[in-house]
Amino acid sequence: MLRIGLLTSGGDCQALNATMRAIVKTVYNNTKEDVEVYGFKDGYQGLIYGRYRKMDWGDFSGILTMGGTILGTSRTPFKRIDTPEADGVEKVPAMRKNYKALKLDCLFVLGGNGSTKTANRLREEGLNVICLPKTIDNDTFGTDITFGFTSAIDVATRCIDDIHTTASSHGRVFVIEIMGHKVGWIPLYAGVAGGADVILIPEIPYKMDNVVKAIERREKNGGRFSIIVCAEGAISQEEAAMRKKDYKAKIAQRVKPSVAYDIAEEVAGRTGKEVRVAVPGHTQRGGQPDAQDRIFATQCGVEAARGFLEGKFGYMIAKVGGKMCRVPLEDIAGKLKYVDPKSDLVREARMLGISFGDE
């Protein structure tokens, strides 16, 4: 008898169901033992409070193309997993207890950075854990890509495409805010795919002077409209300098109102042009997964199941240099993968004439 647990943790994304389908189908197809599957509800909360349902093969049929997660998810406060919450439950011991009570052979965790950190803590407790790199943000350390990323790029790019026709008709400047609080992967990729004129990401703080110059240069060359793609966490050089002293406070203040409105207002004031804002928001993590995400999610799920069947635990499935591999949890837990300002794509975007606002 094999007993496995599944949970999806953190912000949801598009190919979570595809991944779980691959895990479960692969386990069933490649063992002669009976298999019991336990799906924990709403991420680690389900493991902490013992909320789960017993599932079977059929529950994972027909979900390949379905967005969201059939298990539910939540953002449990990972930072304090070793201290009791207001409810008096000590989380790590509670998770350990529920894992043991169900006699699990393995817990599959579909999650991003925060989730990996908690998974690593469970590994230290002696639990068998395998992580799978979920996030639209592509900021999971240890893997070149994550599932959810290409679907989010698709949604963001479609948004830029749609804005293009109306921006062009009216001769307006548009500021489109794309997801990415700490990292700029989606804005960078979608910005290139959508033909943005300016891309502002957290990793490359901007100067408004340079943004305005880019718009004016474009106008001088005959362009009657401009598209500025900014990450949720786009930051000016002035702010970046300040944040070094007082980082946490600033992040908190930026969540709302949207940074795009501030940028729009400043651009409008300085160029005298009509400026409009679009904030596709959570649509970027919703809807059906695209083909690329389904393929990668399936690969991750199969490889995780294979690892489990080989009796190997304590790592995250990853893709590095085009090859599927396993990276130890202790090497990656709590680390973020940023856009490298010197990377190929940034350099290529600059040569193409895209401004990052830093020069």
Catalytic residues: 137
Q: Which of residues 140-199 bind a second copy (CB under 8 A)?
A: 144, 150, 153-155, 157-159, 161-171, 174, 189-190, 192-195
Using rule CB under 8 A, residue 279 touches a second copy:
yes
Strand order across the 315-320 sheet: 52-55, 35-40, 2-8, 106-111, 129-133, 315-320, 323-328
The nearest distance, CB 139 to a second copy, in angstroms, is 17
Nearest to 151 by CA among 320, 10, 319, 287: 287
Nearest to 326 by CA among 133, 136, 185: 133
* Amino acid residing at 292: Q
Using rule CB under 8 A, residue 272 touches a second copy:
no
Q: Which of residues 86-125 bind a second copy (CB under 8 A)?
A: none
Using rule CB under 8 A, residue 69 touches a second copy:
yes
The nearest distance, CB 175 to a second copy, in angstroms, is 11
The nearest distance, CB 339 to a second copy, in angstroms, is 14
Using rule CB under 8 A, residue 60 touches a second copy:
no
Kindly indicate which of the ranges 8-16, 80-88, 227-235, 244-252 contains the residues binding a second copy, using the contact rule CB under 8 A. 8-16
CA trace torsion 270, 276, 280, 281 (10° rounding):
50
Using rule CB under 8 A, residue 25 touches a second copy:
yes
Q: Which of residues 326-345 bind a second copy (CB under 8 A)?
A: 344-345
Cβ proximity to a second copy, 210 vs 283, nearer residue: 283
Using rule CB under 8 A, residue 352 touches a second copy:
yes
Cβ proximity to a second copy, 103 vs 323, nearer residue: 323
Kindly tell me which residue out of 54, 79, 353, 359 binds a second copy, with binding defined by CB under 8 A: 353
Q: Which of residues 223-262 bind a second copy (CB under 8 A)?
A: 224, 256-257, 261
Residue with tokens 């400043």: 266
The nearest distance, CB 332 to a second copy, in angstroms, is 18
Kindly indicate which of the ranges 25-33, 85-93, 206-214, 331-339 contains the residues binding a second copy, using the contact rule CB under 8 A. 25-33
Strand order across the 226-231 sheet: 173-178, 226-231, 198-200
Using rule CB under 8 A, residue 268 touches a second copy:
no
Using rule CB under 8 A, residue 305 touches a second copy:
yes
Complete DSSP assignment for 29-91: HT-SS-EEEEEETTTHHHHHHT-EEEE-GGGGTT-TT--S-TT------GGGTTS--TT---H
The nearest distance, CB 258 to a second copy, in angstroms, is 9
95 with 1: CB under 8 angstroms? no
The nearest distance, CB 59 to a second copy, in angstroms, is 13
Interior CA angle at 305 toward 98 and 62, to 5°? 90
Using rule CB under 8 A, residue 59 touches a second copy:
no
Phi, psi of 174 (to 5 degrees): -120, 140
Q: Which two tokens stand for residue 266?
A: 């400043």
**Cα–Cα distance between 132 and 309 in angstroms, integer?**
16
